[in-house]
Structure 1
Amino acid sequence: MCKKMKKVMIHIIRLLSLTFLMLTASCEHETLLVENPERETVSEEKVQIEIFTRVNSYRLPATRGLEDEETVGKTPWVFVFKGAGGNARLIEVVQAFEMVKKRYVLLTKQADDSKYQLLILANPQVEFYYGDAVNGYEFNMEKLLGKMKPGVVTLSEVCENLLTEPLATPALAVMPFNYSGATIPMSYLLEVDRVDNTTQIANADGSPLLLVRSIAKMTVTNKAVNFELKGITAVVNVPRQGQLHNWGNSIMDNTSNLTEYRADAGYSAPLITPETVNDWQHTENSPVYLYESGMQNNTYLILQGTYEGKDYYYKMALIGNGKHMLDILRNHAYAFTINTVNGPGYDTVADAKASKASNVDIDYNILIDDSNTYEVVANNDYYLGVSNSVFIAYTDENKDHEAFEFITDCKTDFPEAKTIRDNENMLAGGVFGLKKPVDGLIPIVNQETTDPRKTAVEVYVSNWLKWYEDTQYYQGVRRDNAYITLKLGNLVKSVHIRQRDALPAGGTTLKYMPTGNTNVAVHEMNYYCLSAFVEKGSDNPPAWIKLRPSTGAARDDTESITVDDGKIYIEVLPNVASAPRTGIIYLVTIRDPDGSVGSHVTQRIKVSVTQLGKSIS
C-alpha cells in the first residue's frame, strides 16, 4: 500500500511540476508581448507598425571613428505631418518602443485623403534646442509638444528650428560625439499615403530605411616623405549646433554661432594625435566630427608638423580638388591626404591663424564620400549606386557626355554579370551609345582595400535622340527610351538618356513640372520635383542659371531651391558673348507622386545645358 501511494505521489508531483513549468513559460511569453504595459492592447484608432532602419554607411573612405558610429537606437521618435512637402502640418509625435529586439511605433490611423510625412529621429541627445542656442529642453513628449503645436507648426519649421545641444565657445577638449558610448543623431523623412495596417516604415521593397547622420566626418593622412604630421591642433570656425534633420538642400546659417575645437586654452597639446603606420601618419581612428558648415563660415584646420627638422603650424582651408571652397555636408566623410610639403609653416598658432591658408605650400588631395547622394541597390554582400538615374543633354552637337558616375564595393569578379550595356539596337544606329568604359565592364574593388570604386560613364548623344522616347510613335509603333544598364551579379540599375535642342542665346525658361507635354520643342519636362541645385563650375556656380519657384516673389538664393508643388523653373539668362556656354543642374524628383507608396522613391536627374552664343552679323 505504501509503495502504491508513493508511486501516486510521485506521479502527482510530476504533473504539478509540468503544470508549473507551463505556467512559467506562459508568464514569460506574456511579459515579452506586453513589455510596455501601456501597449497591452491596441485601440481601434491606433495601428502598431514595425520600423525597419539602419544607418546610411559613409562607405568611403573606410575610417573607424566611434564604435557607435553605426548604432541606431531602439526607441526613435516619429513625427507625423499631414500634407505634402514642407507645408505639411504636425499632427502627432510618438516615441517607438522595443519588443522582442524589434522597433515598433503606435500611430493614430490616418485615411488616404492626404499625403503624410513621417520624420524619424534616432539617437537624440538629452536636450533639444528650438531656434536658438540659449534654452534647452528635455527631449520628451511634453517639452516637444510645448514648442511644436500640432495643427500649427509645419515640417519645414520643425526641421529649421529643432537643433542639437550647443557646444561651448571655445570647445576645449570636446568635439561632437567623440566620447565613449556616444551615439550620433540620425534622421529620415518618409512619405506615405495613409497610416494603417498596410503602412510600412521601410523602403518599398521592404529593405531598411537608410538613416542619415546629422554630422560630417573628417580625417587627415600624411604620406609626404619630407614632413611628419604631429597632429591637428585646432579646428576653427565650426558650427556650435546642427539641425536634427535638414529639409531641402540648404545648409543652416551658423555664421554668428561658430566655435573652435582645441585641446586647451593655450594650444599646449594637439587636439588629435595621429597614429603612425608604415611611416605614414593618419587620424582615421580619431576623426573630427562637425555639424554642417557652409563655405561662408571659412572653416579650417591648424595642423602641426615637422618640416626639415623644425616644428611648424599650418593653416589648411577646406578647399576641394577643384580649388574651390567646400561646403561640409552631413553624413559625408572628408579624407585629406598630404602628398608633399613645399615649405615651412608658422612658429605659432596665432601667426598661422592670421595668415592666408597654407594650401599652396601643402600638396594634397581630398576624397569626399558622397555615397548618400547615389541611388543605391544592394544585397547582403555588396551595393551598386548611380549618381543619377536620368541624364538630359540640351545640345545641337553629336558628342560624348559624362552622363553619370557609379559606385560599388563589390569584390566578386563575376565571369559574366559585371556589364555596362546600351540599348542602341532597340533604337537606331548612331542615335546614342556607350563610349566609356570602353570594355563595357564594371571594375571590381581590389581585395586589399576597403575603398569602393567610382567610375564615370560617358555616352555618345546625337542631336536626334530627342525623337527616341516612349512618348513618340513612328508609323504607329511606339518608340523605346534610350538606356544604359548596369548589371553586377544580381543587381541591376538603369539610367535613362535624353536629349533636347541647345538653348537659344536670347535666353529661356525650362519648366520641370507635372505636365502632359510631349512636344520636344516646348521647354517642359514631366517630372515632379522636390529640389535642385546648380553645380559649381568655372563660374562657381554659373550666374546665368537661376532656379525659380513657379509662384511667389523673386529669390536672392537662385543656386539651390526646394519646392512643395513639384514645379521648378530653370531660368537661363541671355548670352551676350559669341561663344556657347555650358552648365550642370541636378534635380531631385519623385517618380510618381500620385502613385503607390513604392513609386514615391526619389530619383536624381542630371541636366547638361548648352546655350548658344550670340550671332555676330
Structure 2
Amino acid sequence: MMKYIMKIFGLVIILLISACEHETLLTGEPDDPGDISEDKVRLEIFARANSYRLPSTRALGDENTVEMTPWVLVFRGSGTGAIFVEAVQAFEFAGKRYVLLTKRTDGSKYQLLILANPMAQFYYGNASTGYVFNESQLTEKLIEGTTTLATACTNLLTEPASTSPARIPFSGVGETIPMSYLLEVDKVDNTTKIEKSDGSSLMLLRAVAKIVVVNEASNFELEGVSAVANVPRQGQLHNLIPASIMGNAGNLTNYQYDASCSLPLVSAETITNKQSTENSPIYIYETNTQTYSTYLIIQGIYETKSYYYKMAIVDKDLNYMNIYRNHAYTFTIKKVHGRGYDTVADAKLSKPSNTDLDFEITVDDSNSYEIIANNDYYLGVSNSVFIAYSPDDASTYEAFKVITDCEKAFPDARTITDNMAEADNSFALSSPADGKLPIVASTSPRVTPVSVLIQSWLMYSEVGQSFEGRDKVNAYITLKLGNLEKQVHIRRRAAIDAGGTILKYMPANSYPFPTTGEVDYHCLTGEVEDGTDNPKEWIKLLPSSMVDRNDTDKIIVEDGHIYIKIMPNTASTTRNGIVYLTTIMPGSLYTGESTVKRIKIDITQKGN
C-alpha cells in the first residue's frame, strides 16, 4: 500500500513541477522576470495621470487611473518621420509595470509611444471598422519599417461613442480614460529609463477634456445639464501636435438621456454652498466648437420656474473656444438676466443664451505649461524660452508665468534666480523682487508672472559666441522648488525697423549670428496673440513656401520652418506684438520632461 502511495505522491510532484515550468502571466510573460532572451530588455514603466489641475472637492478616481498594461509602440529615428518597428504590451509583476522590448543600440534615436488604458478596440483612420487591441491587429495597420510616427498618430483612433449616447462617455464606474505619452530615448537597452529626465513618473495626457458647470448666481438655481450637442464621437489616441484638432465633420453626436431629454444628462449637487456638476463632469473629445457648433443645454430655476438655456462654449468676449484634450473647463454662472425656454426643443433652436447670463469660463491650460513634478506637487512654466526684439535702451518684460500647486514654504529651496554675473550683467530678474517663488495661499494652482530687465548687449551673451578668447554663456532664470528645478532661457534681438522684415525660425546646421534674422529651432506651431496694437494685422506667420494660407495668425507646419513676416509700420509710433511658438528643441524630438517646448517672442517694431 505504501508503495502505491509513494508512486501517486511522486506523480503529483512531477505534475506540479511541470505546471510551474509552464506557468505564465496573463499577458503571456514568464513568471520569472529573469527568464529573458538575449535580444530583449525588461524595462519598468513609471507613469501616472497628468492632473486636470483645477481644484476639486472630490477625487474622481477613474479619471486618474492608469492601468498596469499599457501598450508601447517603438519608432526608430527622430522627428515625426520616425519609422515603426515594434508594438509590445506591458505586463504587471509584483505590482509594477514592465515591458519587454527588443534591444536596439545602433546609434539611432527611438520614440516610445505609450498608450495607456486601451479600449477593447482601436480604429484606424475612420469610425466604421474596429480592430482588437492586440499585437497582430496593431502590426497589421502599422507596417514595420514603413509607417511613420506622424501617420500612426493621425490614424490611431479611439472607439467611437454611440450615435445616441444616453450618458457621458467614461462616466461609468471602473471606466478608464485613454491616455498617452511620447518619450524619446537614445537607445533601448538595460540602461533605458521609461520615466522623466528628473527621475519622476511620466505624466500621461488624457484623450478627452472635462467640462464642469458651476452656479454662483443668487437669482438662479442650477438643476443640471440636459444635453451636450454636436460633440465628436472619437479622438486620436495620441495628438502629436497639441495645437491641432482632429477633423470630425460627419462624425458628431449628442449626449442626452433620450430624444426628448426627459431626464437630465447630469444633475447638479450643492458643493460648498454652490450648485455644481463637479461630481458628474462632462468628458468630450477635442473639438473646434465654432466649426461644429458645440453647445450645452443647461436647466435651472429662474424666478421660481424651471427653464432651459442654450450655452455656446465661448470666452468672456463671446469668441468661440476650442476644446483641447486633458484641459478642464469650468463654466461659472455669475448672474442671470432673463428667462430661458420652456422646453429643450425650443432651446436647441434658439440662439445661444450667453448674453442673458453673466458668466466666466476658467480654463485649466496647465497642459500648455512645461511641467515637472514629483509625487507631492508640480512646477511649470508657460514657456522655456523668451526672446525680446527690443529697443536699445534697457527694458522690462514679462518673460513667462510660473504655475504650481505646492503649499510647502520651503525655507531655502523656493527661489527664482538669475545668472546675471555670468551673462555679463546683460539682464536681471525684476520680479518677484524678493526672488521667492510664490506658493499656494488660497487658490490652487497659483500662477505668477516673472519679469526681467533686458540690456541691449544681451544678444551677444549666448553660447556660440566668444569675446577675447572667453566663451559666452546663455542667460537663464532658474526656478527651484523643493527638489524640482526649471530653467528659462532669456534672449534678445534688436527691435524691428519700420520697413519690416522676415524672421526665420527653423533648424540650422550652425549657430545663426543674432543679426541674421534666423533662429535655430525646429517649429511645430505658431500663434499671434491678441493685443492693443492689433498685432494680427501686421504680424503674419508663413510656412517655408512663403505662401499665405489664410492662417497667418495661427499656423501648423511639418518641416520645422515658421517665418514671421513683419509688415511695414507707416505710423510714427512704435508697436508691439507677441508670438508663441511650440517647438522641438534642437537635436531632439521630445524629451522625457515635456511633450513640447514653448517660445514666447515679444516683438517691438520702430515707428516710421
Equivalences for residues 129-168 of structure 1 within 5 A: 129-168=123-162
User: Take 1:184 and 1:453, find their aligned partners in 2: how far apart are those partners?
Assistant: 27
Q: Is the 8 A contact 1:87 1:564 kept in 2?
A: no
Q: Is the 8 A contact 2:78 2:588 kept in 1?
A: no
Give 1:162's aligned amino acid: L
Equivalences for residues 317-356 of structure 1 within 5 A: 317-321=312-316, 323-356=318-351
| Equivalent position to 1:500, from 487, 493, 517 | 493
Name stretches of at least 5 consecutive residues in structure 2 with no aligned partner.
Answer: 1-11
Partner residue, 2:71: 77
| Equivalent position to 2:85, from 80, 91, 115 | 91
Q: Is the 8 A contact 1:515 1:525 kept in 2?
A: no
Equivalences for residues 194-233 of structure 1 within 5 A: 194-233=187-226
Shift of 1:190: 1.2
Partner residue, 1:421: 417
User: Take 1:544 and 1:589, find their aligned partners in 2: how far apart are those partners?
Assistant: 23
Q: Is the 8 A contact 1:510 1:571 kept in 2?
A: yes
Change (3 A) 1:298 1:411: same
Change (3 A) 1:473 1:29: same
Secondary structure (helix, strand or coil) at the match of 1:195 reads coil
Q: Is the 8 A contact 2:533 2:575 kept in 1?
A: no
User: Take 1:542 and 1:115, find their aligned partners in 2: how far apart are those partners?
Assistant: 38
| Equivalent position to 1:272, from 266, 269, 275 | 266
Secondary structure (helix, strand or coil) at the match of 1:305 reads strand
Partner residue, 1:299: 294
Shift of 1:239: 0.7
Equivalences for residues 348-387 of structure 1 within 5 A: 348-387=343-382
Shift of 1:404: 0.6
Secondary structure (helix, strand or coil) at the match of 1:303 reads strand
Shift of 1:37: 5.2
Q: Deviations over 1:582-616 (max 9, x none)?
A: 33222334445269977998532211123334x2x
Q: Deviations over 1:346-370 (max 9, x none)?
A: 2232332233322222112222112
Which range moved further: 63-72 or 534-543? 534-543
User: Take 2:219 and 2:40, find their aligned partners in 1: how far apart are those partners?
Assistant: 66
Alignment TM-score, normalising by the size of structure 2 = 0.88
Change (3 A) 1:356 1:438: farther
Q: Is the 8 A contact 2:535 2:576 kept in 1?
A: no
User: Take 1:160 and 1:96, find their aligned partners in 2: how far apart are those partners?
Assistant: 23
Which range moved further: 562-571 or 136-145? 562-571
Give 2:400's aligned amino acid: F
Change (3 A) 1:349 1:574: farther
Partner residue, 1:402: 398
Q: Deviations over 1:234-288 (max 9, x none)?
A: 1112111111110113110113221111122112221111111354101111100
User: Take 1:371 and 1:58, find their aligned partners in 2: how far apart are those partners?
Assistant: 8
Q: Is the 8 A contact 1:590 1:599 kept in 2?
A: no
Instruction: Say whether 1:127 aligns with 2:125.
Output: no
Which range moved further: 461-470 or 143-152? 461-470
Secondary structure (helix, strand or coil) at the match of 1:86 reads coil
- Alignment RMSD: 3.3
Change (3 A) 1:44 1:538: farther
User: Take 2:412 and 2:196, find their aligned partners in 1: how far apart are those partners?
Assistant: 29
User: Take 1:485 and 1:199, find their aligned partners in 2: how far apart are those partners?
Assistant: 28
Secondary structure (helix, strand or coil) at the match of 2:262 reads coil
Alignment TM-score, normalising by the size of structure 1 = 0.86
Equivalences for residues 14-25 of structure 1 within 5 A: none
Equivalences for residues 169-188 of structure 1 within 5 A: 169-171=163-165, 173-188=166-181
Give 2:268's aligned amino acid: P
Name stretches of at least 5 consecutive residues in structure 1 with no aligned partner.
Answer: 1-19
Which range moved further: 217-226 or 278-287? 278-287
Give 1:317's aligned amino acid: A
Shift of 1:293: 0.8
Q: Is the 8 A contact 1:66 1:180 kept in 2?
A: no
Secondary structure (helix, strand or coil) at the match of 2:138 reads helix
User: Take 1:58 and 1:159, find their aligned partners in 2: how far apart are those partners?
Assistant: 23
Secondary structure (helix, strand or coil) at the match of 1:492 reads strand
Shift of 1:184: 0.4
User: Take 1:94 and 1:527, find their aligned partners in 2: how far apart are those partners?
Assistant: 33
